[in-house]
Structure 1
Amino acid sequence: MSHPFFPQGNRWKRRDVLRTLFFTAGAVGSASWLSGCGGSEGGGESLPAVGGGADVTPSPDDVEKLVGRFQDIGPLRDADIHGVRTPEGFATRVVAINSELPQPDGMAVSGPQTGGIGNRPWHIFPDGAGVVPRDNGGWIYISNSEVPGAGSIGFTFPQLSGLTNVIEEFTPGLAQVGTLVFDPDGTIVDSYTILSGTTFNCAGCVTPWKTWLSCEEFPNGQVWECDPYQAGDGVPRPTLGFFSHEAIAIDPGERLLYLTEDMPDGRFYRWVPDPADWPEGSDRAALQAGRLQVLCVGGEGVDAALDAPQPIEWMDALNPHEPQDQNRLQQSTAFDGGEGVWFFKGIVYFATKGDNRIWAVDTAAQTIEVVYDLATAEAPNDILSGVDNLFVTDQGDILVAEDGGDMQVVVILPDGTLKPLLQIEGQDASEVAGIAFSPDGQRMYFTSDRGGRNGFGGFTNGLGMVYELILPDDL
């Protein structure tokens, strides 16, 4: 196939450096280190809430009609008081900062406020995120906390994963998943934890049945299913495999899950439910029984996907209830650092950070191709590096958050051109993540995983914060 939305045609990032520093500083599993640093995805645009979106493959005529929502945004202006550059007509506010209680109207610029919402200070290292709607017209923002643990040593040093997986079994995880509860006018009214005791929770997805799947990113990591509407601890879903889970996308029409693995020799997976686990016509999957499968690229091989789509096939994973980095299927294809993944109109997009590429799997044709490659991109389309989290709008815009790079969210438009949507300044040791939209599509959330207050009324590198991008009414 020729990819419907595009014409043909830095290795490990700051986050990995921080992980290495964390462990080589002798802070493995150290709760004191954490406390010493402050503790602890409706409306008119019909943006998809699932880790994917519509489940109907578009006709060529439909594809030609796709005009990106952000097609006509202008250049980025100077940074605002929150340190964020946006196009004309956009505005930002800060809605959560690590170790501070959320405030009804967001965070004061000058410093922490007294009082606050809920009984949990906002977690450190906020990463992947999603939004679910509330019955009253409000919404809930769900946020992972990417706190390392003993098992994360096996992520940074894969040769040690066998040992660190064992240590992880006896070491309580320090990560969690938190929420911000919004009323229809954007006021924050509550905040609570829906998962705790896990390790290195990176991304995930909102399911069609409105739960949250949170991914542990270490070699023996699992996926946890959480109820975002009430406080709780989540439920592990071992059928989804044991590996350095990064993100998940769901094709609800075909009842398939797609999963990325963030390792230098990571694989791309799909999960096929047993017929009784997700029966046709059922509202949801039980996520208790299914087959974990690994992608194998045929044809001229994975490198040839730069020039033309290559055929793929799926093979059952070896020993799916054991760590996959120790059970590689020889025929499977390695991808260098799998990151965000999204299902949209029969295409599964995913990012790989090691080679700065965005891939597209055509689920009908069963082919794969590269739709963005930094090494071969030509100006003005060479502005995207450090590819990480993904979000695809119903208009076909692919929003890519940068881990490092220029700390931007970059839009890949349906015609293949790139435009910056925003840029965070003064936080070069951080990364952008957590993209999710309010149900009406007018507010976009994103995180600076390692952002925080600078003590002088502004923001700099820190332990994490969450921004809200307010879109113009006519967009």
Structure 2
Amino acid sequence: MERRSFLRGAVVGTSAAAFGFTLWQGAASAAPAQPGPGPYGALGPADANGIQLPAGFTSRVIARSGQRVGSTSYTWHNAPDGGACFADGAGWIYVSNSEISSTGGAGAIRFNSSGGITGAYRILSNTNRNCAGGATPWNTWLSCEEVSTGYVYETDPWGVNPAVRRAAMGRFNHEAAAADPVRKVIYLTEDASDGCLYRFVPTTWGNLSSGTLQVLKAGTATSGSFTWATVPDPDGSPTPTRDQVSGAKLFNGGEGCHYANDTVWFTTKGDNRLWQLNLLSSTYELAYDDSLVTGTAPLTGVDNVTGAASGDLFVAEDGGNMEICVITPADVVAPFLRVNGQSSSEICGPAFSPDGRRLYFSSQRGTSGSSSGGITYEVTGPFRA
């Protein structure tokens, strides 16, 4: 898969830096976010789709597992999970993983400039529990396998080039990926109770076929300085990658990961935390911790995370009360939307369209609580610039 094959416009997704974010820039000592009035106001009553939204926002169903997408012949996959949007001329493409054992993979939906669905298709097949992932600056989607010896697959959102397994990025319980075009590395989270945070340093930026896998080293505190150390055996056999480097910092269930403006944010579900790496100072800290919230925590079950042009972070819940919460640059956390009647599901794959006016996400198991009941939504409204 050649880099030039994907130079088709700016990518906007879970790890993109295309918006020129300003979130918390220079705020290396900011306190963890606290509840407060959100920038969009209170949630209104549930709409016809069972979604509570602020005034001025509307939702629509884009796809349902086991059903054809729009007027296309493509049947949407079960258990939709991580996702991202890619610019496609005047339109865009939303890609989505399938967290199904053995046959997972990923699919894509193509939109025209007005948001109409013009196509849908598979971009990856017969892989294992494809959970989250991340977009690259050269417009590919990194689909990550959430199994103990999982791989990262680099896929073409246009479905033209075949997917490629990127073994050099390590074999472990992969979750999310976030590209850093400044340092020319890819950050990787590990979904394990004693997981690590990694970065992959490609030999050549834009080509993930070879490079060096490194792991973050730091103390046991919730803030401090960090360094990177090379993982001797990225294949993770017989010794798992997280156990190969003395002093590697352990995180309790790595989930979503997002890069913008010399900062990496990633979530850990085991302790309901959002972590912040300040890359210019090589320090880390907590951006959110539900145990440090004054009063009732609005955000629990932290999972996927993405960013908006405003610098706001949008964090999806796996559990909690099925919300996507917003965390503002002023360190205020508040619900942005709530999905009703789907308590046995989780929210996955939040991603903005290239113009920032539409937010896509999935309810992995929908109202049925089964992987065959997944629903993918679009929310449109006055997102702040």
- Decide: shared fold, TM above 0.5: yes
Structure 1 position 330, deviation (Å): 2.7
Q: Which stretch of the first structure deviates more once superposed, 242-251 or 315-324?
A: 315-324
The change in CA–CA distance for 1:141 and 1:286 in structure 2 (over 3 A counts) is same
The change in CA–CA distance for 1:194 and 1:324 in structure 2 (over 3 A counts) is farther
Kindly report which structure 2 residues correspond to 1:109-148, keeping only aligned pairs within 5 A, or say none: 116-117=71-72, 119-135=73-89, 137-148=90-101
Quote the residue 1:393 is aligned against: 308
Letter matched to residue 336 of structure 2: L
For residues 438-458 of structure 1, give each alpha carbon's deviation from its aligned partner in whole angstroms, at most 9, with x where no partner exists: 111111101000015x7xxxx
Quote the residue 1:224 is aligned against: 153
CA distance in structure 2 between the partners assigned to 1:471 and 1:201 by the alignment? 30
CA distance in structure 2 between the partners assigned to 1:341 and 1:370 by the alignment? 14
The change in CA–CA distance for 1:229 and 1:98 in structure 2 (over 3 A counts) is same
8 Å contact from structure 2 (residues 19, 309) kept in 1:
no
Quote the residue 1:84 is aligned against: 51
Larger gyration radius, structure 1 or structure 2: 1
8 Å contact from structure 2 (residues 22, 311) kept in 1:
no
Match of 1:290 among 211, 218, 222: 211
Q: Secondary structure at the match of 2:207?
A: coil
The change in CA–CA distance for 1:273 and 1:450 in structure 2 (over 3 A counts) is same
For residues 324-374 of structure 1, give each alpha carbon's deviation from its aligned partner in whole angstroms, at most 9, with x where no partner exists: 863412321110100001111111100000000000111111111111111
The change in CA–CA distance for 1:440 and 1:60 in structure 2 (over 3 A counts) is closer
8 Å contact from structure 1 (residues 202, 215) kept in 2:
yes
Count of residue correspondences: 366
For residues 203-243 of structure 1, give each alpha carbon's deviation from its aligned partner in whole angstroms, at most 9, with x where no partner exists: 11111111111001101100001111125641000111100
CA distance in structure 1 between the partners assigned to 2:51 and 2:304 by the alignment? 18
Letter matched to residue 425 of structure 1: N
Kindly report which structure 2 residues correspond to 1:24-103, keeping only aligned pairs within 5 A, or say none: 48-49=12-13, 51-53=15-17, 72-103=39-70
Kindly report which structure 2 residues correspond to 1:271-310, keeping only aligned pairs within 5 A, or say none: 271-274=200-203, 277-278=204-205, 285-297=206-218, 301-302=219-220, 304-305=221-222, 309-310=223-224
Q: Does 1:368 align with 2:290?
A: no
CA distance in structure 2 between the partners assigned to 1:330 and 1:140 by the alignment? 42
The change in CA–CA distance for 1:241 and 1:60 in structure 2 (over 3 A counts) is closer
Quote the residue 2:340 is aligned against: 425
CA distance in structure 1 between the partners assigned to 2:172 and 2:384 by the alignment? 43
The change in CA–CA distance for 1:82 and 1:462 in structure 2 (over 3 A counts) is farther
8 Å contact from structure 1 (residues 426, 460) kept in 2:
no
CA distance in structure 2 between the partners assigned to 1:420 and 1:324 by the alignment? 44
Q: Secondary structure at the match of 1:179?
A: strand
Q: Does 1:411 align with 2:326?
A: yes
Report the TM-score, using the length of structure 2 for normalisation.
Answer: 0.89
The change in CA–CA distance for 1:325 and 1:357 in structure 2 (over 3 A counts) is farther
8 Å contact from structure 1 (residues 49, 208) kept in 2:
no
The change in CA–CA distance for 1:189 and 1:287 in structure 2 (over 3 A counts) is same
Kindly report which structure 2 residues correspond to 1:141-156, keeping only aligned pairs within 5 A, or say none: 141-148=94-101
The change in CA–CA distance for 1:186 and 1:232 in structure 2 (over 3 A counts) is same
Superposed structure 1 runs of 4+ greater than 4 Å apart? 54-63, 459-462
For residues 122-163 of structure 1, give each alpha carbon's deviation from its aligned partner in whole angstroms, at most 9, with x where no partner exists: 10000000111112x111110100002xxxxxxxxxxxxxxx
Higher strand residue share: 2
Unaligned runs of 5+ in 1: 1-45, 64-69, 104-115, 149-172, 279-284
Quote the residue 2:194 is aligned against: 265
CA distance in structure 1 between the partners assigned to 2:307 and 2:356 by the alignment? 12
Identity of aligned residues (%): 39
CA distance in structure 2 between the partners assigned to 1:216 and 1:145 by the alignment? 10
CA distance in structure 2 between the partners assigned to 1:120 and 1:325 by the alignment? 41
CA distance in structure 2 between the partners assigned to 1:230 and 1:257 by the alignment? 22
Letter matched to residue 296 of structure 1: K
CA distance in structure 1 between the partners assigned to 2:293 and 2:112 by the alignment? 43
CA distance in structure 1 between the partners assigned to 2:66 and 2:228 by the alignment? 44
For residues 63-110 of structure 1, give each alpha carbon's deviation from its aligned partner in whole angstroms, at most 9, with x where no partner exists: 7xxxxxx9531111111110100011100000100111011xxxxxxx
CA distance in structure 1 between the partners assigned to 2:44 and 2:315 by the alignment? 19
Quote the residue 1:339 is aligned against: 255
Structure 1 position 394, deviation (Å): 3.0
The change in CA–CA distance for 1:474 and 1:74 in structure 2 (over 3 A counts) is same
Unaligned runs of 5+ in 2: 1-9, 28-36
Q: Secondary structure at the match of 2:291?
A: helix
CA distance in structure 2 between the partners assigned to 1:402 and 1:446 by the alignment? 11
Higher helix residue share: 1
The change in CA–CA distance for 1:141 and 1:324 in structure 2 (over 3 A counts) is farther
8 Å contact from structure 1 (residues 55, 346) kept in 2:
no
Quote the residue 2:172 is aligned against: 243
Structure 1 position 322, deviation (Å): 2.5
Letter matched to residue 467 of structure 1: Y
8 Å contact from structure 1 (residues 145, 201) kept in 2:
yes
